[in-house]
Amino acid sequence: MTEVARHETTPGSLAGDRIEDTHETGHHIVPISVYVKVITALMVLLVITLGAAAVDFGKMGLPWLNIVIAMTIAIVKAVLIILYFMHVRYSSKLIWVFSGAAFFWVMLLFVMTLVDYFSRAPSLAY
């Protein structure tokens, strides 16, 4: 009977529209308002991506600017998704390090391999 009683009291205690630290169960409930803000930001960033792609910065002598803007926005979007949708913002330090290390490792592999390709003599290209 005690179990049934607890079953009934739980939903009410978690329904508040604020970040509840349910420390004993080890997880937080992210309020819906946070998700709404994040999805709004993501949609706005998508529109900005399209807007930036419509401008040909090559004509202004900055041909690299298009890809830099596109990738910067993509990274901001990814970080928003990781922090809020994937709850890393509210997770333990261990999850922070673990998830961050994955992307850091990708960056490391990219940079080191590209350094190899970029620094080859033309005769050794590919």
20 phi and psi angles, rounded to 5 deg: -100, 130
Pick 27 or 62: Cβ nearer other proteins:
27
Q: Reduce the DSSP state of residue 27 to 3 states and report it.
A: strand
Quote the least distance from Cβ 61 to other proteins, whole Å: 14
Q: 45-84: string of b/e by CB count within 10 Å (b at 16+)?
A: eeeebeebeeeeeeeeeeeeebeebeeeeeeebeebebbb
Q: Is 30 exposed, middle or buried (0-12, 13-18, 19+ CB in 10 A)?
A: middle
50, 60, 121, 124: which one binds other proteins (CB under 8 A)? 50
Q: Which of 48, 65, 86, 90 binds other proteins (CB under 8 A)?
A: 86
Q: Which residues bind other proteins (CB under 8 A)?
A: 1, 3-4, 6-11, 13-15, 23-27, 29-30, 32, 35, 38-39, 42-43, 46, 49-50, 53-56, 58-59, 66, 70-71, 73-74, 77-78, 81-82, 84-87, 91-92, 94-95, 98-99, 102-103, 105-106, 109-110, 113-114, 117, 126
